[in-house]
Amino acid sequence: MAIQNLRSSPHLREVSGAAAIFGCFALLYASLRSRDIFATDGAHRCLEVFHRQAIFFHENNHLLYPVNVLAWTRLIAALGMKPNGPFEFYRIAELMNCFAAAASLAIVFLLIQWTISSWRFALGAVVTLGLSKAFFSQATNANEAVVGLFWSLLAVLLLVLGLRARSLLLIFVSGLIFSLAMATYESMI
C-alpha cells in the first residue's frame, strides 16, 4: 500500500517526468552533436581553454565560459574520457552543452507543470522548445550560452522552491546562482 501511494505521489511523478526528459534529450543531443567546429564563435574560446589548460576569465560577456569548460573537461577526464587532441576536447565540451540543455528542459518542464498542473502541456512545450532549431543548434555545439541558460533556470527553480517553502536560504542561493548565470553568459540573467 505504501509503495502504491509513493508511486502515485505528484512529487515523484514530476521528478520522474523531469528525469525522463533529461535522459531522452541528453541522449538525443549527445548523439547528434555538431561536427562543424566553426558553426559558432564558441569553438575558438573552447580551444583556447584546451591550449591554456588553466583557469582564466574571458574579457567579453562570457566571463566564466572558460572556467565552465575547464571544470567540465577535468570532471570528464576524471571519469576516464581524456581528449587526445583539440577536436576531442571540443567534442567533450559539446557534451557539457548537451547535458546543460537537457537539464534546462527538465527544469522548464517542472516550472510549467507547477504553473498549470498539466504534464501533457508541459511535455508538449518542452518537446517543442527542445526540438526548435535555435535551441537544438545551441544544445549540440560548444557555444557559450547554454550553460548560462542552465544556471539561470536553476536559479528560477530554486527561487520558486524557496518562495513555496518560505526559505530565505533557497532564495539567497537562487540569487548567487543568478550571479553565476550572469558571469557565465551575461545576457542570460
For residue 37, the one-letter residue type is I
pLDDT in tens, 90-146: 899 999 999 999 999 999 999 999 999 888 999 999 999 999 999 999 999 888 889
Question: What is the pTM for the complete model shown?
Answer: 0.88
* CA 153/CA 146 separation, integer angstroms: 11
Position 63 scores a pLDDT of: 66
Helix, strand or coil for residue 61? coil
For residue 110, the one-letter residue type is L
For 33-78, give the DSSP string. ----TTSSTHHHHHHHHHHH-S----SSS-TTHHHHHHHHHHHHHH
* CA 49/CA 92 separation, integer angstroms: 12
Position 61 scores a pLDDT of: 66
pLDDT in tens, 7-47: 444 588 888 999 999 999 999 999 999 887 777 666 667 77
Position 139 scores a pLDDT of: 93
Confidence band for 6, pLDDT divided at 50, 70 and 90: very low
* CA 116/CA 122 separation, integer angstroms: 8
